[in-house]
């Protein structure tokens, strides 16, 4: 199945005469399901109508097939449309998160429901359940009198009550000179497979929070307002 890439998610183009070809774009990766960046390089031929190229996902590094189709020829050059080959992707609720964190029962239940309706391609139900998930998250931390606020205000209150700096501060302390983690990273101690897996999980979470989450929020805002 081919999925059309919207013009608003094409980040840069390269010109061949009057024709503009996509050079980079952001879209959901068919392999890992993350919103990722793709660099595109099409071998443009003037007499050709359909082009294809492979590009690696910026997150999972898997190769993904993109198709470019000439659709018309206007006063400003040839019009083209970009498509990505959409493999059958099914999201798995929670994934490895359950092995490292114990979620409240209500949160786990509504999150699983949100993922399930998304996999069923019920977009309206997905939006409804997403709202329920956010309400369950704030309900896990806020006092009863604070839950009467609009959800936007609940999230603002939540940010003030949870020390979002604490995990990074603790990591810094864990890396202190002479610590076991510092010795492992400096190769002064041997690292087991289990410890190496935990280190990679930690890096994944840190990168997700510092880099990927802010970009996902921005991309969602652009998608909604566009």
Rounded to whole angstroms, the Cα distance separating 126 from 7 reads 24
pLDDT at residue 203, as a whole number: 83
Tens-digit pLDDT profile for the chain (226 aa)? 678 899 899 999 998 877 889 999 999 998 888 899 999 999 888 778 888 899 999 999 988 999 998 887 665 667 889 999 876 666 666 655 555 567 788 888 898 888 888 877 788 888 999 999 999 999 999 999 999 999 999 999 999 988 888 888 888 888 888 888 888 888 888 888 888 878 888 887 888 888 778 877 887 888 888 7
pLDDT at residue 175, as a whole number: 87
Q: Is the same domain home to 124 and 183? A: no
Q: How many domains does the chain have?
A: 3
Cα atoms in the Cβ-side hemisphere of radius 13 Å centred on 187:
0
Q: Is the same domain home to 14 and 77? A: yes
Contacts for 40-48: CB closer than 8 Å, 24+ residues apart: 40/66, 40/82, 42/68, 44/16, 44/19, 46/16, 46/17
Q: Is the same domain home to 78 and 99? A: no
Q: Answer whether 0.75 is exceeded by the pTM.
A: no
Domain range holding 71?
Answer: 2-85
Q: Is 109 domain-assigned?
A: yes
Q: Is 158 domain-assigned?
A: no
SS3 156: helix
Q: Is the same domain home to 16 and 79? A: yes
Q: Is the same domain home to 169 and 115? A: no
First to last CA, the chain: 25
Is 99 in contact with 198 (CB distance < 8 Å)? no
pLDDT at residue 138, as a whole number: 94
């Amino acid at each position: 199945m081919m999925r059309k890439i919207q013009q608003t998610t094409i980040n840069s183009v390269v010109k061949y005469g009057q024709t503009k070809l996509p050079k980079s774009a952001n879209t959901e990766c068919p392999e890992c399901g993350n919103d990722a960046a793709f660099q595109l390089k099409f071998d443009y031929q003037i007499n050709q109508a359909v082009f294809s190229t492979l590009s690696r996902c910026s997150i999972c590094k898997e190769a993904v097939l993109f198709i470019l189709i000439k659709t018309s020829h206007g006063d400003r050059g040839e019009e083209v449309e970009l498509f990505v080959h959409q493999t059958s992707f099914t999201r798995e609720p929670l994934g490895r998160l359950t092995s490292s964190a114990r979620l409240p029962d209500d949160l786990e239940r509504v999150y699983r429901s949100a993922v399930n309706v998304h996999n069923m391609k019920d977009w309206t139900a997905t939006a409804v359940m997403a709202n329920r998930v956010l309400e369950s998250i704030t309900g896990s931390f806020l006092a009863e009198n604070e839950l009467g606020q609009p959800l936007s205000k609940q999230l603002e209150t939540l940010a003030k009550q949870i020390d979002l700096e604490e995990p990074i501060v603790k990591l810094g302390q864990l890396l202190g000179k002479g610590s076991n983690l510092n010795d492992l990273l400096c190769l002064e101690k041997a690292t087991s497979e289990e410890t190496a897996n935990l280190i990679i999980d930690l890096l994944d979470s840190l990168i997700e929070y510092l880099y990927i989450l802010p970009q996902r929020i921005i991309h969602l805002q652009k998608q909604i307002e566009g």
